[in-house]
Amino acid sequence: MTKSIKIDEALENYISSNSYELHPVQKEIISYNKSLGDIKRMQISITQAYFMQLLIKINNVKQILEIGTFTGYSALSMSLALGDGFITCLDKNKKTSELANNFFKKANVDKKINLIVGEAIVSLINLLNENKKFDLIFIDADKENYIKYYDLCFNLISNKGLILIDNVLWKGEVIDKNKNDRMTNIIRDFNTYIKNDDRIEKTILPIGDGLTICRKIYV
């Protein structure tokens, strides 16, 4: 069985230098997040951002929903690939949301991003009541609510739309039989839940901390 190589920071930088150039504000967010210490892990990888940008362009995505925005790197990255599309972001942290909005303004993409601050489940129910539909949904928030987020998002995604879920390999601990802590088991249970959903096509890609891609096929 062919093994995937481990993507460390040096290799990530190599990939970046041989892909298209990062936007100056993307670089600024990355630098800022590094200053935060261990919490920087909440940012998606550069490789993952490139991949998501390509997905957006290939699928002609116009409407995106993001659950979990942190300081704005993923939302900014997606907005740069959107053209005339629009992103709705949900996050409950007022401080990081303010930082994200400032980065959006600096990159001149704030007109196509609406960051709603509050509990995501409440916001998702509001979007459902407004009959909103999205071409791509990215879930990268508190893992305890992943299944709830997914179930609500299934009714918000357009037919044949994409739902992306981050951190599904949980630093590789999902396969470690000696790891039975609460968070690892939450991720395992979520992965099993997705596996058993026959309304979607799905796969897990070993980029970043593991990215599940779901394509809605149930009408």
Alpha-helical runs (H) found in the chain: 9-17, 24-34, 46-58, 73-79, 94-106, 120-129, 146-154, 182-195
Rounded to an integer, the average pLDDT of 167-192 is: 96
Which range, 7-11, 42-46, 115-119, 204-208, is most confident? 115-119
pLDDT surpassing 60 at residue 1: no
Contact 147, 161 (CB under 8 A): no
pLDDT of residue 219: 58
Summarize pLDDT for 84-113 with one digit per residue, the tens.
Answer: 999 999 999 999 999 999 999 999 999 999
pLDDT surpassing 90 at residue 6: no
What is the percent of the chain with per-residue pLDDT over 70, rounded to a whole number?
A: 98
- Domains annotated for the chain, with CATH where assigned, are 9-216 (3.40.50.150)
pTM to 2 decimal places: 0.94
Distance, in Å, from the CA atom of 40 to the CA atom of 207, rounded to the nearest integer, reads 17
Distance, in Å, from the CA atom of 89 to the CA atom of 87, rounded to the nearest integer, reads 6
pLDDT of residue 2: 62
Supply 88's token pair: 């709705």
